[in-house]
Structure 1
Amino acid sequence: MGRLFRKRLDLTIVVVAYDMARELPRTLCSLTRDYQRHCAGIDYEVLVVDNGSPEPFGHERVAAYGDNFRYFYLDNPPSSPAYALNYGAERARGRILCLMVDGARLVTPGVLGLAAAAFRAYRDPTVAVLGWHLGEDLQYRSIAAGYDQAREDALLAAIHWPEDGYRLFEIAVLAGSCLDGWFRPIGESNAVFIRRDAYDRLGGFDERFDLPGGGFVNLDFFRRAVLRKGSELIVLLGEGTFHQLHGGIATNTGDERERQNLQHRWEAQYKALRGGAFDAPGKRPVYLGGISPAVLPSLASSVQLAMEALARGDSLFAGSE
């Protein structure tokens, strides 16, 4: 893959967005130096790749978040975000990349500082952040029960976000890719960090995942990144990404039949491309982070799920033990 950067930076965050006028400002706010903690010494940039929104978000709105924020608009791109992610990576100046397939994700305040620490401590890590859905249930179920953007706005106002980003844990549930909690394998990360040269060796995101929404493209990239030879999996304990409602294909349909049809198509494409069904990578992680009071309930339930797995005779991280 090409390298089109100028001055080398420590880190580039690539954020892909489509028609997210409500959600993207919050995501960008959560990536600013004012919001992120312990990142004063990190030279980073945020690249927003607008994947053909009917009304472009615009350079000026992105630049308002800091002189390290850049904007690119793709005219008539593929419906899968794979091309947009690779496009952003090619224009990144960072030695380390953070790939955010979904621009509707808020992040907690320790993500950038802790990820940078992981790359100082380990030679070639893959750093993962667990995903969450805002609301009381997985969003495809909560939507069917009446959850909407107005309700979500009220939840964020109730915790006075963005004053304390860790209070997001109070109004969210674990996403489907990590329903088993902190101490079992996860299927993907919506903020995955990897060295730029490792990204190039992997070939980036596989653009053959061309179904609307990308299908399993993010899961596929995460699995390949985690399982590559010599890489340590680092999970940022006590941090998360939080999905906002935005009408997304993967999470924001309340029609169960439609959701099942999409899932079957995505599974079939993954099997056709990789020769078998998707399985979450079972590599044992190293945990890095701290614990805020708001994350304690999820930790407690995660411990219970892990203990139940052990009682059944299951290995916590099959394939690594």
Structure 2
Amino acid sequence: MATAVPVLPEPQARALAEAYASAVAARRLRGLAVLVAIVVLALVSGYLAHVRPLTLFANIGNFGSFISRTIPDFSSGNPVADLRAWYWNFPGWLALLGQTILIAYLGTLMGALGAVALCFFASANIALGRGSRIVTRRLLEFCRTVPDIVFALIFVIAFGLGPMAGVFALAIHTTGALGKLFAEVVENIDMKPVEGMRATGASWIQTVRYAVLPQVAPGFASYALLRFEINVRGAGVMGFVGAGGIGQEFLVAIRNFYYSDVSAILLMIIATVIIIDMLTERLRHRLIGFEGAR
């Protein structure tokens, strides 16, 4: 059955078309203005930061030369012996790499526990009051704003050389970073269970335990695993200030121009990060119910 398509009067149709064209033009103009602002800021930032593309192109060969010197020579006659000579200190480096992973694990665990303890006070929908929320958020900002390498240097000065300084530095920085993420997860929960618990006269702790925590636990675990992966890379640098791990050995190799040792240690760190990334990714997908992980 055919139906007639209503036709607007010419003046009304023209007015609607002009309004649509005007809205589209205004939207394109705003987009162009944003793009111009981004380009201008990029150029100004590059100028003030002394980013010189011509200098980069002129010296790019030095970078390639350094990389080529870190690659050892392999002979076709006995490559196994060359590989052993390349990784001459493999047991020692492996032990230091294991120490780096343990530093990252303990720092992540302590930081995640601290973030869980503080995130509920920093969330807008669960916090006990505006004052506690402001104080907690400023504390988390301080913890994540100061670089972890600076915390590590402070703890090395206070407690001496060793992995303990690295653990505390990562724990503080992780508390600040995860605290913000956890608070945002809490702010996105379904408030109906919370309102139901409050209606029954439950205390704040009971409300958090039975109405909030079950909703946010998978997200908390997912972010904590992601942070562990990041902290493994961070712990690899802690040795630069004497906070334990393989970073100190890596720094010694760089300073003494042991080029083959630099590439050997760097490849071990890269392989470790890749393996941890693959494992934590599968765990995160299972926790959040991602279908592709099954």
TM-score by structure 2 length? 0.23
TM-score by structure 1 length? 0.22
| Structure of higher CA gyration radius | 2
Higher fraction of strand: 1
